Structure 1
Amino acid sequence: MIKSSSPEQLLQVEDLRTSFFIKDREVRAVDGVSFDIKPGEVLGLVGESGCGKSATSLSILRLIPNPPGKIVGGRILYNGEDLLDYSEKQMRDVRGNQISMIFQEPMTALN
């Protein structure tokens, strides 16, 4: 377990890299994303279609389908602990209870 050097940060994403391996080639969907969120802050990921917003969010929640996707590098620190070191059971406790995501078509997702 790696502790963060910045305890005031709730979520720290550092150099996150996620790739999809399709037909003997690597497609980088997330390439070096970094950001910090302090308690009480809200972050919205915005950008053009296909720029990696969903892949970034799914990576943070460790919901990237493997195969063909894989988080290939970086750190995702939540309350100072690296979520990449968490077991699947630990991640189930985090998802929805501590970190949530509103998927595309929010009116359907929130109904």
Structure 2
Amino acid sequence: MILDVKGLNVDYVSAKGAVRAVNDVSFQLRRGEILGVAGESGCGKSTLIMAIMRLLRPPAALTGGEVWLHPR
């Protein structure tokens, strides 16, 4: 297994409260597999990928879950 994502949650926090952009995403990517992420505009695709790569910037916040990278 190369990538293991379990229960990932990302919120955008504002003065009015938090908005959940990614809700309980889990998947495994094995060696030789290809992952495509598709969806409507504004559904959280970019936020999901930024969270996996640990590149989120405020006001986005990783609020739950785990991301494990196994490079070998």
TM-score by length of 2: 0.92
d(CA) in 2 for partners of 1:54, 1:75: 17
Query: What is the Cα deviation at residue 40 of structure 1?
Result: 1.2
Alignment length (residue pairs): 71
Secondary structure of 2:11's aligned partner: strand
- The C-alpha deviation readout for 1:27-60, integer Å capped at 9, x for no partner, is 1010100111001111010011111110000000
- Residue 12 of structure 2 corresponds to 20
1:29 corresponds in structure 2 to 21
- Correspondence 1:1-111 to 2 at 5 A: 9-65=1-57, 67-79=58-70
Q: Identity of paired residues, percent?
A: 41
Code of the residue aligned with 2:27 in structure 1: it is: F
Distance 1:45 1:10 in 2: 17
Distance 1:58 1:32 in 2: 15
Corresponding residue SS for 2:50: helix
| Misfit runs of 4+, over 3 Å | none
Structure with the greater relative contact order (CA < 8 A, sep ≥ 6): 1 or 2?
2
Which structure: greater helix fraction?
A: 1
Q: Which runs of 5+ in 1 are unaligned?
A: 1-8, 80-97, 99-111
**Structure 2 unaligned regions, length at least 5:** none
Following the alignment from structure 2 to structure 1, what is the Cα–Cα distance between the partners of residues 7 and 44?
A: 14
Q: Report the structure, 1 or 2, having the larger strand content.
A: 2
Tell which structure's C-alpha radius of gyration is larger.
1
